[in-house]
Amino acid sequence: MKKRETKLQVQSILATVVMGMNLVNTAAPAVAVAMTEQQEPAPKQSVSEAQQEEMQSYAYEVLPILAGYVDEMVFSKAEAASSYSVGVGENRSIASTDDYDSVYVASGGTCTIDSNRAKINVVDGGSLNIGNNIGSVTVSGGNVSVVSNNQDLRVEGGNVSVVNSEHQIYVSGGTCIIDVNKQENHVSGGTSIIKAMDTSDSMQRNQVISGGVGIVSVMNATSAYNQQVQTIHGGSGVVGTMLDGWQWIKSAGAEGHIGTMSGGSQAINAGSGSIDTMYGGSQTLGKNTNAEIATMVEGLQFIHASATGAISAMYGGQQIIGNPGYENASGAIISMAGGQQQIWAGNNGSITIMSGASAMQIIGLSGIANGSIDTLEDGIQMIGYNNNPSYKGVGTGTINIMNSGLQIVGYSGGSACVGSIKTMNNGQQQVNDGGTGTVTDLLGGIQIVRSGGTATATTVGSGGMQYIEAGAVISGTVLDGGSLRLRQTDSAYTLANTLTINNGVLDLTNGTGIMPNLRVAPVYQMLTLNDLQGTGGNIYMDTDLANNTGDQIIVNSTNNGTGTYAVYVNDQSIVSDTELTGRLLLIDDQSGRLNFEGITANNGGLWDATPVLNKETNQWYLSRIVKTANNDTKVLLFDAENSYAMWRNTADSLRSRLGELHGSAEHDNGIWARTQTGRFSGSGYEGRYNLYQLGYDKIFADKSVYGAAIDYGDGTGSYAYGSGKDKLTALSLYGVWQGNRGTYTNVTARYGSFTTDLKSYGGYPDKADYKHHVYSISVEYGQRFDYHQGLFFEPQAQFTMGRINSISYTTDRGANGYIEGMNSAIGRIGFVLRQKVKNDSDIYIKADLLHEFAGERDLQLTSDAGGTNDILREHSDYGDTWFELGLGGNVRISKTGNFYGEVTRGFGGDINKKWSVNAGLRFTF
């Protein structure tokens, strides 16, 4: 009934409209004619009855046609529209819907539509599934899924998922998830998630956020024409992975976030932005914005005026703070292992920890800027860099703690570059022309001051160094255990300001400290000190006494300095093995208040060099260089003597064995074993040795005995600054011939091999090892005189000829040693007084006088260690006379077994046998 009334009302309205249109069309010509008349107004004309009839006829003709069209196109379809209502617990499937259909899904209802053109409303708790949507869908609650969306979709609540969206989707509440988006997605509330934006054409895909949360899982524009954008006016926008595209944050209070970025851009015009991990792309901060990057591997953070940017961990890429015209920006990096922080004029940058060799903080591009590093483990802080050669960069850089790395002050020669380091444990500060550098506590590392550079208030502790060129200015330098060194290429230095030395080092040498490179002729320097203060320290100088030239120091004044300075001299004569005398002016103390003394210098080569200084008025002259082998060299010398001493002290052990043999009643074949241990000493060393022997005797009818023995021994040498270990293996052949009236002759031939390892513990510890061979042949003659009650006396004479082969070796530090082969000829005369006791046992005492008739050899050492080209030649003469006393005995322990032992001590020789103990067993068969 209501539809019928509505239809009649619409037809009446249409009739009125048509009649009005006809009236206008009829009157329009008359009006036009009247307006063209210029002289007299046209007479008022009335519409004739014929015209009225014509108009009425026209209206009645048109009206039915239009009314019929409206009835067919509108009301017939409206009368045919369907309305679907899906109630609680109802599950309904619809193949398709038309334009004027309506679908209502109540809470608890489920509806599935294959193709939809209807207007749909889903309330909370309802469920709707659409295959292809061309209708207007509003979701205020429930769960809705759409395979293909081709018409506006409004999400006011509930949960919506869309596989492919060809049309706009508006989200003001609830949650909407879009697999592939091809149109704009407007978010004013709720949450909208786009998994991917379509890349099939050149159209722009945009997620526009004014409230709520908008998320794009993957953003990847395939070309410059295929733009993918997330625009944030309010609320929050998130891009999970950005391969390309834009996230544009445009309003205050808006927030943008990117999970992983490898391309594209995050542009922050207002509000704030953040990135978890950046592998590429850019983050640009507009005025008064703030943004942060958790981890930057590559890419760019560009901070405009008054903006604040932060990076938690940086491994590469760039943080650019400001640019010409962009000031008051600030950037911060927590941990920096690579990449660059560029600080342009009028801006500030800070780094908490810089630890990468490729990491760099560049300060003062185009004007004054400020940069700071709390802890520098590695990397570079560059102050005043500018790649424009016509402009000198300026800026200020500070480092709290430097453990390694480099600070460059005045890279481009800027006149207003200032660099300061509070504590330097290692690393380098380089102050160039126009720069000013300060190190409050230089405990390690080096401060280099170039010509035109200035160093102020630097305290150099032990392990630190201040290195200056001619033309550098230092003011307030205190050497508190550290060193000040002058560059060798410059010859004249003047320090106009106060220099304070408190147990520090003033180094003028050609090398580092007392390790000069004497292979290169040094540049001798003249150093003028206007004011020298402090308690004293060390001075290192290069000299050439033979040519009467060298470094020289002039001290103009010292108000409070009264200390004593130790002078170490690196003279060119150190490379030779000769000593020089002369008269060379070293120091001109015009104050007359300072004291200087020459100190022994160990250059790391072979020699200790001690300069002798003479004072004449207030001038100090070098008059002589006294040279002695240093502690490490002495170990090499002493160990050669130790090997000779061990061989000499073990050579008579077999003689003792044979002496017992010829004087006993042993007339059978036998085997024997003996051990010998002892200690000996020489000038500057002490040795210990152990020897183990195993032998066999063969008795012949003519009372002669022939035998063989093998030896193994080891020994150690102890020196003041080193130690050595020797191992000996040897083979001996011997024979004993008995004569009439108690005479005998012993002949022993011996061949052995020594292996030596030695170490030194001096100023420059070293190691070496070598092997050499030894030989000897010994002839002994004696006669036995028997007395009553088992007492007998036996005078003896022995002569031993031997040779120790030559030795060549190289130490770990490169010292080359050559020890010449040596002949030995030892003569011995002595006696044995023996008393027999029961069971064929006896005890005896012995005394010997020995003399070495040969024992001379030459030794040569050469060394490049320390750059000195040292040569040391020494002649060794072991010719000596000494005495030995001994007490021993033989004990019969069985019918076939004997035990024998002996204790011996030496006296009066250069190499003394402190004590020696022999003990052995022999069994016959």
Q: Map 250-309 to HEC letters.
A: CCCCCEEEEEEEEEEEEEECCCEEEEEEEEEEEEEECCCCEEEEEEECCCEEEECCCCEE
DSSP 877-909: E--EEEEEEEEEEEEE-SSSEEEEEEEEEEESS
Instruction: Indicate the burial class of 68 (C-beta count within 10 angstroms; 0-12, 13-18, 19 or more).
Output: exposed
Q: Above 70 in pLDDT, residue 515?
A: no
Q: What angle do helix axes 2-36 and 49-70 make, rounded to 10 degrees?
A: 140
Instruction: Indicate the burial class of 399 (C-beta count within 10 angstroms; 0-12, 13-18, 19 or more).
Output: buried
Q: What is the pLDDT of residue 513?
A: 52
Quote the CA–CA distance of 378 and 405 in Å, as a whole number: 4
What is the arithmetic mean of pLDDT over 9-18?
50
Q: What is the pLDDT of residue 46?
A: 44
Q: Which amino acid is at 169?
A: I
Quote the CA–CA distance of 145 and 415 in Å, as a whole number: 70
Max CA pair span of the chain? 197
Domains of the chain: 2-33+48-80 (no CATH), 636-924 (2.40.128.130)
Across 385-389, 405-409, 717-721, least confident range: 385-389
* Ranges of H-type helices in 757-888: none
For 709, the token pair is 């023995």
The pLDDT confidence band at residue 648, using thresholds 50, 70 and 90, is confident
The pLDDT confidence band at residue 907, using thresholds 50, 70 and 90, is very high
Q: Above 90 in pLDDT, residue 9?
A: no
The pLDDT confidence band at residue 41, using thresholds 50, 70 and 90, is very low
Q: Above 60 in pLDDT, residue 587?
A: yes
139, 192, 219 from 235: Cα distances, Å: 21, 12, 19
The DSSP letter of residue 247 is E
295, 661, 663, 695, 764 from 924: Cα distances, Å: 88, 12, 16, 12, 56
For 283, the token pair is 């983050």
Quote the CA–CA distance of 715 and 921 in Å, as a whole number: 23
Whole-number percent of the chain with pLDDT over 70: 85
Quote the CA–CA distance of 896 and 666 in Å, as a whole number: 9
Quote the CA–CA distance of 685 and 722 in Å, as a whole number: 9
The DSSP letter of residue 486 is E
Q: What is the pLDDT of residue 30?
A: 41
Render pLDDT for 129-143 as a digit per residue (tens, 0 to 9): 999 999 888 898 889
Quote the CA–CA distance of 562 and 532 in Å, as a whole number: 10
Across 184-198, 222-236, 664-678, 752-766, least confident range: 664-678
Q: Which residue has the higher pLDDT, 415 or 124?
A: 124
Across 31-45, 548-562, 881-895, least confident range: 31-45
The pLDDT confidence band at residue 866, using thresholds 50, 70 and 90, is low
- β partners of residue 342: 320, 362
Q: Above 70 in pLDDT, residue 535?
A: yes
Q: What is the pLDDT of residue 412?
A: 64
For 142, the token pair is 């429930």
The pLDDT confidence band at residue 10, using thresholds 50, 70 and 90, is very low
Q: Above 70 in pLDDT, residue 618?
A: yes
Whole-number percent of the chain with pLDDT over 90: 57
Q: Above 60 in pLDDT, residue 910?
A: yes
Going 35 to 36 to 37 to 39, the CA torsion angle's sign is: positive
Contact between 304 and 282 under an 8 Å Cβ cutoff? The reply is: no
Q: Above 90 in pLDDT, residue 124?
A: no
What is the arithmetic mean of pLDDT over 101-120?
90
Mean pLDDT of the chain: 86
Q: Above 90 in pLDDT, residue 323?
A: no
Q: What is the pLDDT of residue 324?
A: 78
Report strand pairing: 435-442 vs 406-409. unpaired
Q: Which residue has the higher pLDDT, 286 or 639?
A: 286
Render pLDDT for 141-165 as a digit per residue (tens, 0 to 9): 889 999 999 998 999 999 999 999 9
What is the arithmetic mean of pLDDT over 111-121?
91
Tokens 């010859």 — which residue? 491
Q: Which residue has the higher pLDDT, 562 or 277?
A: 277
For 593, the token pair is 């208040």
What is the arithmetic mean of pLDDT over 663-688?
80
Q: Above 60 in pLDDT, residue 457?
A: yes
Q: What is the pLDDT of residue 58?
A: 45
Q: Above 50 in pLDDT, residue 23?
A: no
Quote the CA–CA distance of 736 and 784 in Å, as a whole number: 14
Tokens 């305290």 — which residue? 459
197, 210, 238 from 215: Cα distances, Å: 11, 13, 5
Render pLDDT for 806-861 as a digit per residue (tens, 0 to 9): 999 999 988 899 999 999 999 999 999 999 988 888 899 999 999 999 999 999 98
Q: Above 60 in pLDDT, residue 673?
A: yes
The DSSP letter of residue 222 is S
Q: What is the pLDDT of residue 34?
A: 39
Quote the CA–CA distance of 275 and 259 in Å, as a whole number: 6
Strands, E assignment, 75-151: 83-86, 91-96, 102-105, 110-116, 119-122, 127-133, 137-149
* Long-range CB contact pairs, 516-520, < 8 A, 24+: 516/542, 516/570, 516/603, 516/866, 516/867, 516/868, 517/867, 518/570, 518/572, 518/574, 518/575, 518/603, 518/867, 518/868, 518/869, 519/864, 519/867, 519/868, 519/869
Q: Above 50 in pLDDT, residue 43?
A: no
The pLDDT confidence band at residue 225, using thresholds 50, 70 and 90, is low
Q: What is the pLDDT of residue 561?
A: 64
Q: What is the pLDDT of residue 270?
A: 95
Residues 6+ apart with CB under 8 A from 172: 154, 155, 156, 188, 189, 190, 211, 212
Torsion, CA 642, CA 645, CA 651, CA 653, rounded to 10: -90
Return the SS3 of 34. Answer: helix
The DSSP letter of residue 226 is S
For 541, the token pair is 């100088």
Quote the CA–CA distance of 912 and 922 in Å, as a whole number: 30
Return the SS3 of 394. Answer: coil
Q: What is the pLDDT of residue 388?
A: 63
For 211, the token pair is 């409230």
Contact between 500 and 468 under an 8 Å Cβ cutoff? The reply is: no
Contact between 371 and 365 under an 8 Å Cβ cutoff? The reply is: no
Highest mean pLDDT out of 97-101, 251-255, 919-923: 251-255
What is the arithmetic mean of pLDDT over 388-412?
85
Helix/strand/coil (H/E/C) assignment for every residue in 49-92 = HHHHHHHHHHHHHHHHHHHHHHHHHHHHHHHHCCEEEECCCCEE
Instruction: Indicate the burial class of 396 (C-beta count within 10 angstroms; 0-12, 13-18, 19 or more).
Output: buried
CA atoms within 13 A on the CB side of 595: 7
What is the arithmetic mean of pLDDT over 402-424?
89
Q: Above 90 in pLDDT, residue 485?
A: yes
The pLDDT confidence band at residue 226, using thresholds 50, 70 and 90, is low
Q: What is the pLDDT of residue 24?
A: 43
Q: Above 70 in pLDDT, residue 29?
A: no
Q: Above 50 in pLDDT, residue 885?
A: yes
Tokens 């060390």 — which residue? 538
Residues 6+ apart with CB under 8 A from 28: none
